[in-house]
Amino acid sequence: MTFKELNISEPILRALTNKKYENPTPVQEKAIPPALEGHDLLGIAQTGTGKTAAFAIPIIQQLDEARAQERRHEIKALILTPTRELAIQIDESFRNYAKYTSLRHTVVFGGVNQRPQVDKLRHGIDILVATPGRLLDLINQGHISLSHIRHFVLDEADRMLDMGFIHDIKRLLPMLPKQKQTLFFSATMPAAIATLSQSILRNPVRIEIIPVSSAADMIKQHLYYVERQKKNQLLVSLLRQERNKSVLVFSRTKHGADKIARILKKNGIECEAIHGNKSQVARQRVLSNFKSKKTRVIVATDIAARGIDVVNLELVINYDLPDVAETYVHRIGRTGRAGQTGTALSFCSQDEHMMVRNIQRLTGRKLNPVLA
């Protein structure tokens, strides 16, 4: 996927080329199209995923397109963020991405003299980045009006809550026009944040980005380049080496899962397959045997594996690589839980090289090849 394919306008594409961004990050790929259509968003993503551009680009593009019919610079987009460092960074992002438009932006935060901020506001501003306390102060003094806001971003909502800003936010919300687009971002979704999001979002598109790096840091990941016909042999030999570990083997298809399980049993390895064609009772039985360590190896499809929640899962083996890179992160996240280290081994045949590239791009790290 390229930025162009996301229908990003020419002035912003130029700015992205300046920044040498080659392609959109996953959060950008998911957030930009619905945001450009004017939908509300509920984004579960951390800093470092590229989420700033994911909300800044659609806002700039929508305001830039409307700008032709407008003369006045009044505040049409408000980005609320908990800390001054974040506020400065976000404003910097708007500076970069809006470089080839005539939109004006500025940032206000507490702990410094307000005079220069007020001077900037007087010049007329389209996009305002703010921390809650200073924003309220400036509103109360009549320097800022929120009555023309069309786009509202609540960034790092969970940190806002931790830092005690929730009352400030609740005071600000009624000052915003009813008719607007709201983009809500949080790294985590505790109950209080879920409730807040429900109270301010209208039919939001939900986007979730798994925190790749933190999960992957705890997990040793290795890659075996292996011919398709030799995968069974490799699996048997690896499972024989890891005699005492609880192992989850992933297969792309139900049929494949059954076949792998049959081969393992033939080779004297106790195992069971679990997938959507099995009854709920049968799946439950397999899972409880796995948890009690009666069954050491399970072969599962992605959907069936969702129900597997075993703390001491030491090893995940990707017999097949998944088509979608995020699925890889979900799979390996089964091991390395609760601060324990885990291992993920992946088999890659000739036709799966492309998937390795996608996974490496998503996780931002190389998988170590091991000679089989």
- What is the number of the residue whose Cβ is closest to ligand AMP? 52
Asked if residue 322 binds ligand AMP (CB under 6 A), the reply is no
Is residue 186 a contact residue for ligand AMP (CB under 6 A)?
no
| Residues sharing a CB contact under 8 Å with residue 156, sequence separation 6 or more, in sequence order | 47, 81, 82, 86, 185, 186, 187
Q: Could you tell me the smallest distance in angstroms from the CB atom of residue 187 to ligand AMP?
A: 10
- 81 near ligand AMP (CB under 6 A): no
Phi, psi of 105 (to 5 degrees): -140, 155
112 contact partners, CB below 8 Å, separation of at least 6: none
Strands 342-348 and 219-225, sheet pairing: parallel
Q: Which two tokens mark 60?
A: 């700039």
Partners of 183 in the beta sheet? 41, 153
- Nearest approach, Cβ of residue 183 and ligand AMP (Å): 13
Indicate the residue among 20 and 122 with the shorter CB distance to ligand AMP: 20
- Pick one of 41, 53, 315, 367: the residue that binds ligand AMP (CB under 6 A): 53
Tell me the C-alpha distance between 357 and 325, whole Å: 9
Residue 62 CB, shortest distance to ligand AMP, in Å, is: 19
Q: Does 47 bind ligand AMP (CB under 6 A)?
A: yes
Secondary element (H or E) of residue 353:
helix 353-363
DSSP per residue, 125-158: -SEEEE-HHHHHHHHHTTS---TT--EEEE-SHH
Nearer to ligand AMP, 21 or 100 (CB): 21
Interface with ligand AMP, residue 33, by CB under 6 A: no
Q: How far is the CB of 79 from ligand AMP (least distance, A)?
A: 12
CB closer to ligand AMP out of 56 and 248? 56
Judged by CB, which is closer to ligand AMP: 213, or 284? Answer: 213
For 330, other C-beta atoms within 10 Å of its C-beta total 16
Q: How far is the CB of 38 from ligand AMP (least distance, A)?
A: 22
Does 343 interact with ligand AMP (rule: CB under 6 A)?
no
For ligand AMP, the closer of residues 82 and 342 by Cβ is: 82
| Helical (H) or strand (E) element with 348 | strand 342-348
Rounded to 5°, the CA angle 229-232-237 comes to 130
The span from the CA of 30 to the CA of 225, in Å, is: 31
Interface residue with ligand AMP, options 49, 101, 251, 363 (CB under 6 A) = 49
- By CB under 6 A, the residues from 4 to 23 that bind ligand AMP are 21
The span from the CA of 280 to the CA of 66, in Å, is 54
Q: Does 58 bind ligand AMP (CB under 6 A)?
A: no
Contact 62, 38 (CB under 8 A): yes
Please tell me what DSSP assigns to residue 179.
Answer: S
Considering the complex, what minimum distance in angstroms separates the CB of residue 335 from ligand AMP? 26
Question: Edge-to-edge strand order for the sheet containing 271-274?
Answer: 271-274, 297-300, 247-250, 315-318, 342-348, 219-225, 368-370
The answer to whether 50 contacts ligand AMP (rule: CB under 6 A) is yes
Q: Is 332 in the site for ligand AMP (CB under 6 A)?
A: no
Binding part of the chain for ligand AMP, among 42-50, 110-118, 253-261, 266-274 by CB under 6 A, reads: 42-50
Judged by beta carbon, residue 53 or residue 359, the one nearer ligand AMP is 53
The residue ranges that bind ligand AMP (CB under 6 A) are 21, 24-25, 28, 47-53
